[in-house]
Amino acid sequence: MTRRVFSIRPEPGLRATITAGVTHGIPIIGHPLSRAEKRGWTLPDLAPIDGLLIGSGNAIRLAGDKIEALQKLPVLAVGQATATTAAKAGFTIESVGSGGLQNLLDQIDDEPRHLLRLAGEDHVPLIEPPGIQLTERFVYRMQMRPMPDQFATMLGSECIVLLHSAKAAEHFANECDRMGVPRRHITLAALGPRIIEPVGGGWRAVHAATKAEDSALLAMVRNLCH
In angstroms, the Cα distances linking 171 to 40, 112, 148 are 24, 39, 13
What is the pLDDT, as a whole number, of residue 190?
97
Q: How far is 41 from 148, CA to CA, in rounded Å?
A: 32
- Residue type at 71 in one-letter notation: Q
pLDDT value for 36? 94
Per-residue pLDDT at 2:
63
Q: How far apart are CA 140 and CA 143, in angstroms?
A: 10
Task: Give the pLDDT of residue 225.
Answer: 87
Q: Among candidates 86, 126, 120, which has minimal Cα distance to 106?
A: 126
Q: Structural domain boundaries of the chain?
A: 4-33+145-225, 36-143
pLDDT per residue as tens, the chain (226 positions): 568 999 999 998 999 999 999 999 999 999 999 999 999 999 999 999 999 999 999 999 999 999 999 999 999 999 888 999 999 999 999 999 887 899 999 998 878 999 999 999 988 899 999 999 999 999 999 999 999 999 999 999 999 999 999 999 999 999 999 999 999 999 999 998 989 999 999 999 999 998 888 899 999 999 998 7
CATH topology of domain 4-33+145-225: Rossmann fold (3.40.50)
Q: Find all residues with CB under 8 Å of 2, minimum gap 6, and list them.
A: 225, 226
pLDDT score of 33: 98
HEC sequence for the chain: CCCEEEECCCCCHHHHHHHHHHHCCCCEEECCCEEEEECCCCCCCCCCCCEEEECCHHHHHCCHHHHHHHCCCCEEECCHHHHHHHHHCCCCEEEECCCCHHHHHHCCCCCCEEEEEEEECCCCCCCCCCCEEEEEEEEEEEEECCCCHHHHHHCCCCEEEEECCHHHHHHHHHHHHHHCCCHHHEEEEECCHHHHHHHCCCCCEEEECCCCCHHHHHHHHHHHHC
Distance of CA 107 to CAs 103, 136, 161, 196, Å?
6, 19, 32, 26
36-143 belongs to which CATH class?
Answer: alpha beta
Cis previous bond, 12, omega within 30: yes
Fold match, 4-33+145-225 / 36-143:
yes
